[in-house]
Amino acid sequence: MVIYQIYPRSFNDTNGDGIGDLNGIYEKLDYLKDLGIDAIWMCPFNSSPNADNGYDVSDYRNIQPEFGTMEDFDKLLKGMHDRGIKLVMDVVVNHSSNEHEWFKQSRSSRDNPYRDYYHWWPAEKGKPNYRYSLFDPKGDAWKYDSTTNAYYLHYFSEQQPDLNWENPKVRQEVYDIMKFWAEKGVDGFRLDAFQFAAKDTTFPKLPDGYEKNFFEYYAVQDGLHDYLKEMNEQVFSKYPVMSVAEGAGRNFQDAHDLVDASRNELNMAYAFDGVDVAQYGGYELSKMKQVFSKWDSAFADQGWLSVFLSNHDQARMVSRWGDDSPEFRAPSTKMLNTFILSMRGTPYCYYGDEIGMTNIDFQTIDQYQDIAAKNSYQKAMMEGEYMELFMRKLNFSSRDNGRTPMQWNTFQNAGFSTGKPWLPVNENYKTINVEASQNDPNSILNHFKKMVKLRKENLVLIHGTYELFAKEHPQIYAYTRTLGQEKMLILLNFSKQVTSLKLDENLALEEVLVNNYENVDLANGTVSLKPYQGMVFRLK
Ligand code: GLC
Ligand code: CA
């Protein structure tokens, strides 16, 4: 399958409140169908006070009122199914919102029946051992609550208290919630931050500075596999659903154990090593090749991987991996989409990347909406960081870059909303939008559709083995995919220089299937590639 990811808040607003909604997605179903994608992963749409835009759920069985009603949801799901599109929903259960009824009960008294739904540390025992919080301005995951004179744990913001997975009642609640949605016809689950769910609840002291490598202590700890097996037994095995968790653990062994079919846990891994290669300041192609090849080899015989270059927690694909200048934005976006859609593993395409949407250029902290951005700003201030550099880095890598409204056309607010959008529309919408892309046969959008089609019509692009060659080439990423007699060659120039590659004699080109330029420049067995040129060939 090809999965398309939607951030509902930013996709399409139908009632003019500046916030995308379910009816907005419904309105665009024919557009989505036309892309050729098979499934949509929708970021959280459950009720939420929005400390982290839905990643803080206050009612798991309801729809975020800003997004619509349960009727709207049912209509949307039916509309998707009528078009053969499946729905993968986000399940945010490492933590809930602090406004969830469970937490309100839990914090109300020490002997409340919900007390053990969360992690509490009585203050008379002293301060609990330090735990790192990813979102807290002080980096402290323990929050003191005077109501019961105790601390509670939050790996993310203090509005996102961690659920206690050791409590069988919590687990049963979660499975029941998942069954509720599976009964409604949801086709898959993406488990948010789930690799952090299992914890050593004695909260021992961890080595100084452990937060620099906190994955060792946070990801896939004892108990996690048991929880997943139980979830599989109770939910995944009972319904026709797929499952993927965010993160793939600390190492290959973890990743294998999460997705080896024989273990009955999850269907596919979603590892971050790939996207982590590109940071502020750029990235090295050699490193990228190395990481993607390594992950492919890890699942050569068993298990299955996700392939992606962006999502709602990342900067825009083209701004980060390609070149978003007017000259190179189109070829580099096309080249990157060629990459995602020709690798082994399930491609995840993020909304807007099919038209080459770019980072937005926020300069001051009050332009940002993201809790991670705001809290990391406070932290940097307190720690006396060099703020000019901090702001440049944030400008490049903030999650808000990937959350600006979808650019549909040249009308007001890019056709996203008739009201004031919750996050500004990128000013470049006059040129970068769906309508303009639809009218141009050479557009990024039409190239994307061609790649999706090619993948779906050629099993070799799905199941074929992957082999990297020209490993040392500094600009070109080259690989073959092979399935029985079928063989394809993919050549991608990741730079703005013209560059060339001598092809091995055993690579006899038969046909060009996709090319983001008009011609193939081949002479005496050497291919020359234009800036960001990307091609797929069928081999003899
Ligand atoms: C995951 C989500 C991210 C969210 C965090 C806390 O990383 O992808 O958006 O902020 O979990 O739920
Ligand atoms: Ca709306």
What pLDDT, in 10s, does the model give residues 423-464?
999 999 999 999 999 999 999 999 999 999 999 999 999 999
pLDDT of residue 506: 85
Active centre residues (catalytic):
192, 246
Mean pLDDT value of segment 113-135 = 98
Ligand 1, atom 7, lies closest to the CA of 193
Per-residue pLDDT tens over the stretch 259-285: 999 999 999 999 999 999 999 999 999
CA distances from 445 to 24, 297, 353, 373 (A): 20, 31, 9, 31
What residues contact residue 178 under an 8 Å CB cut-off, 6+ apart?
91, 189, 231, 235
Q: Average per-residue pLDDT in the chain?
A: 97
Helix residue spans in 299-350 (DSSP H): 317-321, 329-342
Cα dihedral across residues 9, 76, 64, 346: positive or negative: negative
Domains of the chain by residue range: 3-94+168-450, 101-153, 464-539
Stated pTM of the model? 0.98
CA distance 161 to 528: 55
* Interval between CA 372 and ligand 2 midpoint (Å): 24
Ligand 1, atom 11, lies closest to the CA of 193
Regarding the domain with residue range 3-94+168-450, which homologous superfamily does it belong to in the CATH classification? Glycosidases (3.20.20.80)
Angle made by CA atoms 118, 132, 111, in degrees to the nearest 5: 20
CATH of region 464-539: 2.60.40.1180
Q: Which two tokens stand for residue 56?
A: 């803080």
- By the 10 Å C-beta count (0-12 exposed, 13-18 middle, 19+ buried), 205 is classed as exposed
- Residue 190: which region, alpha, beta or left (left: phi > 0; alpha: psi -120 to 50)? beta
Query: Angle 168-184/70-82 helices, nearest 10 degrees?
Result: 60
Domain 101-153 fold is Oligo-1,6-glucosidase; domain 2 (3.90.400)
Ligand 1 surroundings by CB, under 6 angstroms: 52, 55, 92, 156, 192-193, 246, 312-313
> Probe ligand 1: pick from 41, 52, 190, max atoms within 8 Å of CB?
52
Per-residue pLDDT tens over the stretch 223-261: 999 999 999 999 999 999 999 999 999 999 999 999 999
